[in-house]
Structure 1
Amino acid sequence: MSNIMLVKLQEKHFEKLFKFELENKGYFEEMVPSRGDDYYDLETFIQRNKALIDEQDQGLSYFYLIMNQEGVVLGRMNLVDIEQPKRRGHVGYRVGKAYTGKGIANKALRILLDTTNQLGIRQISAKTTTINIASRKILEKNEFQYIETAKDEFKMNGHLLSFIYYRWEKS
Structure 2
Amino acid sequence: MVNNSQENSYFPFVIVDSSSQRIIGFVGLYNIDRSILKSEVGFFIDKEYTGRGIATGALQVLSEYCFSEFKFEKLFLRIHQSNIASKTVAERCGFELEGEIRREYKTSSGEIVDQLYYGKLNQ
Q: TM-score, normalised by structure 2?
A: 0.80
Unaligned runs of 5+ in 2: none
Aligned residues: 116
> CA offset at residue 120 of structure 1?
3.1
1:110 alignment partner in structure 2: 60
8 Å contact kept, 1:131–1:161: no
8 Å contact kept, 2:100–2:117: yes
The AA in structure 1 aligned to 2:17 is N
Please, which of 128, 131, 138 is the counterpart of residue 89 of structure 2?
138
8 Å contact kept, 1:91–1:125: yes
2:42 alignment partner in structure 1: 92
Asked whether 1:77 is paired with 2:34, we answer: no
Which secondary structure state, in structure 2, belongs to the residue aligned with residue 111 of structure 1? helix
8 Å contact kept, 1:147–1:167: yes
| Structure with the higher fraction of residues in helix conformation | 1
Q: TM-score, normalised by structure 1?
A: 0.60
8 Å contact kept, 2:102–2:113: no
Unaligned runs of 5+ in 1: 1-55
**CA distances 1:113-164 after superposition (whole Å, capped 9, x unpaired):** 1211223312011111011000001001111110112333777559884211
Whole-angstrom CA distance in 2 between matches of 1:163 and 1:125: 12
Largest Rg, 1 or 2: 1
Please, which of 64, 77, 93 is the counterpart of residue 13 of structure 2?
64
State the superposition RMSD in angstroms. 2.5
| Structure with the higher fraction of residues in strand conformation | 2
